């Protein structure tokens, strides 16, 4: 289950980057492309299990943004959405392996608790 290593990497990154402010994080947004092989439900369940074991993270939320697969056609020089894993330009009917979007996996936003 690679979701556990992904969740651990997320927290390692937050600890390194935000150090003493980690306790103030309210929400983490992760962007995952369809080709990244991340299942949003599985990563959410793993995240929930991880924070249940760590008192300082218990109030954190996770949001997973899934990005569709977009390829680029060299013939028409346009991007097109890949549907049903068909990497073929709908205009020229030519195959493309030039992926523009869909294989990313990164922390896209960190939201801190507001201090009143």
CATH code of the domain in which 56 resides: 3.30.2320.80
From edge to edge, which strands make up the β-sheet containing 105-112?
Answer: 61-67, 25-33, 105-112
Secondary structure class of 31 (helix, strand, coil):
strand
Q: Domain count for the chain, please give it.
A: 1
Mean pLDDT of 83-87: 91
Does some domain include residue 33? Answer: yes
Which is more confidently placed, 41 or 116? Answer: 41
pLDDT in tens, 5-60: 999 999 999 999 998 898 899 999 999 999 998 889 999 999 999 999 988 888 89
To the nearest whole number, what is the mean pLDDT of the chain?
A: 93
Rounded Cα distance between 70 and 56, Å, is 38
Query: What b-and-e string marks burial along 21-59, b requiring 16 or more CB atoms within 10 Å of the CB?
Result: ebeebeebebbbbbbbebeeebbbebbeebbeeeeebee
Q: What percent of the chain has pLDDT over 90?
A: 78
Does some domain include residue 74? Answer: no
Does some domain include residue 79? Answer: no
pLDDT at 94: 94
Query: Where in the sequence is the domain holding 38, given as residue range(s)?
Result: 2-68+101-112
Does some domain include residue 77? Answer: no
């Amino acid at each position: 289950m690679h979701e556990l290593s992904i969740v651990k990497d997320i927290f390692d990154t937050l600890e390194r980057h935000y150090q003493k402010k980690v306790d103030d994080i309210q929400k983490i947004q992760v962007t995952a492309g369809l080709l990244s092989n991340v299942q949003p439900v599985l990563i959410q369940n793993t995240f929930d299990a991880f924070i249940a074991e760590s008192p300082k993270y218990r109030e954190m939320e996770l949001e997973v943004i899934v990005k569709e697969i977009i390829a680029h056609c060299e013939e028409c020089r346009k991007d097109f959405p890949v549907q049903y894993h068909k990497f073929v330009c709908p205009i020229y009917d030519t195959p493309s392996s030039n992926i523009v979007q869909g294989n990313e996996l990164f922390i896209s936003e960190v939201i801190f608790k507001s201090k009143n």
